[in-house]
Amino acid sequence: MSANHNHDHEHHDDHGHGEGHDHGSLKSYTIGFLLSVVLTAIPFWLVMGKVFDKSSVTALVILGFAAVQVVVHMIYFLHVNAKAEGGWNMLGLIFTLMLLFIMMSGSVWVMYHLNHNMMPMSAGEVRNLP
């Protein structure tokens, strides 16, 4: 029983730290942090500086930066790559990207239709409301 007990500890002490598992280094965390700061600062500058004339263009550019930032977080902080976990992490990344696309395109679609269907009223129309 003692030999079997030692074998169990050897098996469980691995904790998935085998080949292909990248737990990050100071360099990778620093790169991820700097990319996150830049990917946050640029959209902030785009909005505050009113770089684009149309707000819809600004919104689409910000959504693009948001998508890139999600990928940066997954790669540099969550360590998702094609080698880890036998490819299951990559499947998770693909699923996340699909959900991200659905949520972002759905949000833009809903906001566009809300804006289109909520016509502004003139002062005279507001006074005639019941």
Look at residue 91 and give its three-state secondary structure.
Answer: helix
**Mean pLDDT, the chain, integer:** 78
Contact 79, 23 (CB under 8 A): yes
Q: Quick one: which H or E segment has residue 59?
A: helix 55-76
Contact 101, 78 (CB under 8 A): no
Q: Is the pLDDT of residue 28 over 80?
A: yes
What pTM does this model have?
0.58
Among residues 69, 54, 77, 67, which one has the least CA distance to residue 102? 67
pLDDT in tens, 66-108: 989 988 998 898 887 777 677 777 787 788 889 988 988 898 8
Structural domain boundaries in the chain: 22-118
